[in-house]
Amino acid sequence: MTDLSVSSSSLAKTLLPPFSFSLRPNVPKRLRFCRKSASFLRKPSSISRQNKLAVVTAIQVSTQSENDGFVLEDVPHLTNFLPDLPSYPNPLRKSQAYSIVKKNFVSPEDVVAQNVAIQKGSPRGVHFRRAGPREKIYFEPEEVRACIVTCGGLCPGINTVIREIVCGLNIMYGVHDILGIEGGYKGFYSKNTLMLTPKLVNDIHKRGGTFLRTSRGGHDTHKIVDNIEDRGINQVYIIGGDGTQKGASLIYEEVIRRGLQVAVAGIPKTIDNDIAVIDKSFGFETAVEEAQRAIDAAHVEVESVENGVGIVKLMGRYSGFIAMYATQASRDVDCCLIPESPFYLEGRGGLFEFIEERLKENGHLVIVVAEGAGQEYVTAEGHDAGKTDASGNKLLLDVGPWLSDKIKNHFTMFRKMAVNMKYIDPTYMIRAIPSNASDNIYCTLLAHGAVHGAMAGFTGFTVGPVNGRHAYIPIARVTERQKTVRLSDRMWARLLLSTNQPGFVASDKEKVDKEVTN
């Protein structure tokens, strides 16, 4: 990347006319501007159409030959839209901690491959910029006013991410002006803020939930960016799931349209682990670990009674990762039902037949069901459906009690067989706890990666591990689809081997055979 550094006197000549200085008690002198005085920045018409709308177009790059299939899905940089933006030496050069690192800064040429297992001679495929500190930054620390906002549902580790963004900005880069936006996106225009310091957030990682509070919906892009301008914010850190990151993308696009020097960084959050591209979402390991407690409880209960049937409902709106991983880890689960794998109740190879066989064999069984599984059956029985929450997510019908009633009625009325049903729903226990040690470390890496990226001038990006290496990913890439369990992968095959449950595919074959016969 070209070094656009200029002398301090030249910088002053460039910045002084449009900026007005403002001194505030206990806050370092910083450069501020309001919406009315922002006209000195590049007008939208002066930004090329390609850069203005690029959340990012894949850029073909070749280091060996023009046909090696190397694709870099790059993230936007502030200099794409503000080409005269000066750069500054990274203060980490003088950091005693970083002095022990053999290679202090990430090279502009460092990339992370989306696919690491490829065949000889095949295209090298998609790559992303590797996350980490750069030799040059595009914000002077004393001029930074950052803000952090958390949106959507709870997840273990949110407070750790908040803490490490604050400490990373302050300790690594010397940034002292950090705002917490309270109550989700609505907080931007309801004036709910507090000043965040390392001392204030020192022990929040030991608590569940979010220190900044959260909400769903309330996304008015123009109002939010108006507020960002009015407050002189130039770095925005957004922690949230799919809907939140889509909102972050809209904020980034509006910032570009107005030609503002504002870096927008996303930290993807979802307990369901359904964020595309990245290896896993933070809090997922903690959720799986906590789910074990519910499965263990169900197993103890059903072992202690005759014909005990335990049902544990776990989170998983559209993706069954928590249910699948918790089942694999437990070894006490007899059947796992997830949204990606249809199942049926009656007939040969159905769930009722499997339950009866397992009860005759072991005298008990445990079923894990993801909240999104079997929704078509519950809806078909006339239950209310089609409603959405404030974020636009479809409100699911409660499959757990429905399945419990179906099993109990079938064996009591038709099989004349008494079963002892035990139903456990640990949903809020799983998402409201603090993150475990592994997730705490992971959250630290995410937070620091976001801070390094924003300070280096990248914007419109999210950060996460891709094949074990943290990378900067265009926000649009992680929101274009939801990651789901692939029933053709080895992980699902391992689960079927572990539980020895039916594949629930015979019913469809029987339907086809019946249609052919008729």
Domain locations in the chain? 112-118+125-281+435-466, 284-381+396-433+486-507
H or E stretch covering 148: strand 146-150
Name 56's Cβ contacts closer than 8 Å, sequence gap at least 6.
73, 74, 75, 76, 460, 474, 476
pLDDT tens, residue by residue, 318-350: 999 999 999 999 999 999 999 999 999 998 999
Domains 112-118+125-281+435-466 and 284-381+396-433+486-507 share a fold: yes
Burial classification of residue 390, based on how many CB atoms lie within 10 Å of its CB (0-12 exposed, 13-18 middle, 19 or more buried): middle
Is 279 annotated in a binding site? The answer is no
Phi, psi of 452 (to 5 degrees): -60, -40
Is 430 annotated in a binding site? The answer is yes
**pLDDT value at 423 more than 60:** yes
d(CA 22, CA 246): 34
DSSP-derived secondary structure letter, 29: E
Q: Specify whether domain 112-118+125-281+435-466 bears CATH 3.40.50.300.
A: no
- Amino acid identity of 160? T
The tokens 């903690």 sit on which residue? 286
**pLDDT value at 286 more than 70:** yes
Is 243 annotated in a binding site? The answer is yes
- Fold for 284-381+396-433+486-507, please state it: Rossmann fold (3.40.50)
pLDDT tens, residue by residue, 375-387: 998 888 765 556 6
Q: Stretch 167-188: mean pLDDT, rounded?
A: 96
Burial classification of residue 438, based on how many CB atoms lie within 10 Å of its CB (0-12 exposed, 13-18 middle, 19 or more buried): middle
| Angle between the N-to-C axes of helices 158-167 and 437-455, in degrees from 0 to 180, rounded to the nearest 10 | 40
User: Whole-structure pTM over 0.75, yes or no?
Assistant: yes
Q: What angle do CA 96, 99, 103 make, to 5 degrees?
A: 155
Name 319's Cβ contacts closer than 8 Å, sequence gap at least 6.
272, 273, 274, 338, 339, 340, 370, 372, 482, 483, 484, 485
User: DSSP secondary structure string, 382-435?
Assistant: T-----B-TTSPBPPP-HHHHHHHHHHHIIIIIS----EEEEE--HHHHHSSPP
Is 379 annotated in a binding site? The answer is no
Is 153 annotated in a binding site? The answer is yes
User: Which positions are annotated as active-site residues?
Assistant: 272
For 270-305, letters b (16+ CB in 10 Å) and e give bbbbbbbbbebbbbbbbbbbbbeebbebbbebbeee
Is 217 annotated in a binding site? The answer is yes
Rounded to the nearest integer, the mean pLDDT of the chain is 84
Q: What is the pLDDT of residue 385?
A: 56
* Helix count and strand count (H, E) for the chain: 18, 19
Q: How confident is the model at residue 393 (pLDDT cuts 50, 70, 90)?
A: low
Is 271 annotated in a binding site? The answer is yes
113, two tokens: 């491959």
